[in-house]
Amino acid sequence: MEVAKTIVSVRGLVKAARSKGKRIGFVPTMGALHIGHIFLIETAVKKSDFVVVSIFVNPAQFGPGEDFEKYPRPLEADLEICRKAGVDVVFAPACRQMYPSENLTWVNVEKLTEQLCGRFRPGHFRGVTTVCAKLFNIVAPDIAFFGQKDAQQAIVIKRMVVDLNVPLEIVVCPTVRSPDGLAVSSRNKYLTVEQKKDAAFVYKSLQKCREMVDVGITDSRTIITEMRKILSRALSIEIEYISIVDAETLQELDRIGRRVLVAVAVRIGSTRLIDNILVDLSKQ
């Protein structure tokens, strides 16, 4: 496995692989790799011939007062995980490689970034789409892998790729969870043992939604009220939002129907956690 710190070197490595006819798979991450990332990487290894993983804590997607400084950066452990998973190249640039001077060009996907997390993290998605556009231009992959855990991000990136005619297939992989249902996240490291127990209520609330839909309850308000009740059992949880939206347009829905995203964001102490499920009545 090669570790590329510069744009020139990762481009050279990808070019050599492509000249041998290899299909390039790409997994963008911010590091602090866990089983969720490993699932994405393993899928990339299966579906492509040459896998690039980027590890870059992107300052442009953090707001003032967010956790950019304290975000975990265990690079050596991450490299070991990538090696074991069969990655060909890890691209781990320094900030000055990605942003050598003040960034004046931004990629912004409208509408889809105004809902859900976009309401609470102004500028976040602009940072995500800009860094992904840069990474797609640098790595030039054929296929890139994202997690359903960050559902809005995946939807926004898919739209960016379509709107900007990027010749790239986006694959969205299912959310990997711990045995108690908690969606695995690099930010779970911030939680105490007690807070982790509370965090498991986020998935319990999503399961409650699924149970209600299974018995024919589809009214969003009724479902959200019951989900709130579940979350209120966890004393450290502060709800940011519970939203039932169309899985393509992200517009709020009064009633669950076809391809619906049920998304939750909470705060536990200073840690922000998100999770979601997809519900599709046509597949019941």
In the complex, the residues that contact ligand AMP under the rule CB under 6 A are 29-30, 36-37, 39-40, 146-147, 149-150, 173, 175-176, 183-186
Q: How far is the CB of 161 from ligand AMP (least distance, A)?
A: 14
Cα 77 from Cα 136, distance rounded (Å) = 25
> 159-166 long-range contacts, Cβ below 8 Å, gap at least 24?
159/109, 159/112, 160/107, 160/109, 160/129, 160/132, 160/133, 161/136, 163/109, 164/107, 164/133, 166/133, 166/136
**What number of other Cβ atoms are within 10 A of residue 281's Cβ?**
14
Q: What is the 3-state secondary structure (H, E, C) of 28-82?
A: EECCCCCHHHHHHHHHHHHHCCEEEEEECCCHHHCCCCCCCCCCCCCHHHHHHHH
In this complex, which beta carbon is closest to ligand AMP, that of residue 146 or of residue 201? 146
Contact status, residue 88 vs residue 97, Cβ threshold 8 Å? no
In this complex, which beta carbon is closest to ligand AMP, that of residue 29 or of residue 48? 29
Q: How far is the CB of 119 from ligand AMP (least distance, A)?
A: 19
* CA-based R_g, the chain, Å: 19
- Is 37 catalytic? The answer is yes
Catalytic residue among 37, 121, 158, 272: 37
> 14-20 long-range contacts, Cβ below 8 Å, gap at least 24?
14/50, 14/52, 14/89, 14/139, 14/140, 14/141, 17/49, 17/50, 17/88, 18/50, 18/140
In this complex, which beta carbon is closest to ligand AMP, that of residue 178 or of residue 218? 178
Q: How far is the CB of 20 from ligand AMP (least distance, A)?
A: 27
Q: How far is the CB of 32 from ligand AMP (least distance, A)?
A: 7
**What number of other Cβ atoms are within 10 A of residue 122's Cβ?**
12
In this complex, which beta carbon is closest to ligand AMP, that of residue 146 or of residue 190? 146
In this complex, which beta carbon is closest to ligand AMP, that of residue 175 or of residue 271? 175
Q: How far is the CB of 219 from ligand AMP (least distance, A)?
A: 29
Catalytic residue ranges: 37
